[in-house]
Amino acid sequence: MDVINFIERELTAQRTPLANGNPELLLITGQLDFKAMSHLIQLIESRLINLKLSAGIISRTKILSTEIIQNAFKHGQFLNNSFFAIYIDAVNQELVLKSGNSVLKSKTPELHQKLNDISMCPKDKLQELYVKMLRESVNKTDGNAGLGLISMYYRSKGLVTYNFSEFSDELNYFTIQVLYKF
Amino acid sequence: MKDFYIEGTDNSFEVSLQKGGNLSFSGVSTPEDVKAFMDPVLNWIIKLKENPPAKIIVDMRIDYVNTVSTRYMYEILQHVNECTAKGSVVVYNWHYEKGDDDLLELGEDFELSTDLKFNFMPYA
């Protein structure tokens, strides 16, 4: 199966009931490089402005989008060809951000473990966890200890779901969904 | 020591550091190489600590930052705060668009994580 078709099928198959029947705010698939990241954030902002959403919602979406896209970019750096998709929908006072990207199978357990650990944190302790990890990460050179992932959970108040599915002998396909109620 | 200025881009802050004590950061920070962008800023602040001005005003008008930039901002603010050991008074101003509670929250997170007292200043 063509990888782009695979990604689009995965994301659209996971559309939330609230979003059914409504045009998405944004659905983009392709390869992700640094230029594309910056462009995507600007594109997301312009689409949100067109919807006349409040400045707060636009800021929140940009912050969450940045975390999602940068996480995908980080994992794409380990691959020769990194495939990425992002889907954003704003319906009925809910913002849905979903992304899908390929992840090396060898990197999957670490990512899975981080997500699992963060998901166990009570919602009212997410800010505390974020601040703690930020302080601890300052003098480290080996990554952010999942700070971006914690930020996604914290800023969406824990409304994050994720999934890994097998794509090939070397790759898994990773999807993450962040829901933000406004 | 000279003043320091970097023009903002679509993915990096506008940074203005004046040896007289006015320091400002504005825009977005998601540069491709955060270290390459932030290290000169950090080094300038570390140099400032040697002979800091009596009053330092830090103005932050930030749209969004990635997590690596957040780490650097945390570190930069800690270094600025160390100027108080040499008698400097430091004022931290967090500017945000009126009604943008999310950027206000981002500032509050910075305030909480750094243990510094921010002035939150909405603009229309």
pLDDT tens per residue, chain A (182 residues)? 444 555 555 555 554 443 444 546 677 777 777 777 778 888 888 888 887 778 888 888 888 888 888 888 887 777 776 678 888 887 777 888 888 888 889 989 999 999 999 999 999 999 999 999 888 887 666 565 688 899 899 988 888 999 999 888 988 889 899 988 87
pLDDT digits (tens, 9 = 90+) for B28-48: 998 888 889 999 999 999 999
Q: Each residue of A127-145: b (16+ CB within 10 Å) or e?
A: bebbbebbeebeeeeeebb
Specify the pLDDT at position A19.
44
Specify the pLDDT at position B107.
93
Q: Using an 8 Å Cβ cutoff, are A137 and A147 in contact?
A: yes
Interchain pair A66, B106: CB under 8 A: no
Specify the pLDDT at position A112.
93
Specify the pLDDT at position A92.
74
Query: Percentage of chain A surpassing pLDDT 70?
Result: 81
Instruction: Determine contact: A52 vs chain B, CB below 8 A.
Output: no
Cβ-Cβ contacts under 8 Å for A160 (sequence gap 6 or more): A115, A119, A152, A153, A176, A177, A178, A179
B18 against B65, higher pLDDT? B18
* Entry pTM: 0.84
Interchain pair A131, B68: CB under 8 A: no
Tally the residues of chain B. Answer: 124
Instruction: Determine contact: A77 vs chain B, CB below 8 A.
Output: no
pLDDT band for position B93 (50/70/90)?
A: very high
Interchain pair B109, A59: CB under 8 A: no
Q: Which of B68, B71, B113 sits opposite A131 (nearest CB)?
A: B113
Specify the pLDDT at position A37.
79
Query: If you measure CA to CA, which chain B residue comes closest to A43?
Result: B10
Average pLDDT over residues B74-96: 95
> How do A171-181 and A160-166 pair as beta strands?
antiparallel
Which chain B residues are Cβ-neighbours of A37 within 8 angstroms?
11, 30
DSSP for B77-108? HHHHHGGGGGT-EEEEEEEEETT-HHHHHHHH
For residue A164, the distance in angstroms to the closest alpha carbon of chain B comes to 24
Instruction: Determine contact: A121 vs chain B, CB below 8 A.
Output: no
**Distance between first and last Cα of chain B:** 36
Query: Percentage of chain B surpassing pLDDT 90?
Result: 74
> How do A94-104 and A83-91 pair as beta strands?
antiparallel
Instruction: Determine contact: A54 vs chain B, CB below 8 A.
Output: yes
What mean pLDDT is reported for chain B?
A: 93
Specify the pLDDT at position B62.
93
For residue B101, the distance in angstroms to the closest alpha carbon of chain A comes to 5
ipTM score for this prediction:
0.84
What are the φ and ψ backbone dihedral angles of A180, each rounded to 5 degrees?
-130, 115
Tally the residues of chain A. Answer: 182
Specify the pLDDT at position B60.
97
pLDDT digits (tens, 9 = 90+) for A14-39: 544 434 445 466 777 777 777 777 78
Specify the pLDDT at position A12.
56
Average pLDDT over residues B105-116: 92
Specify the pLDDT at position A23.
47
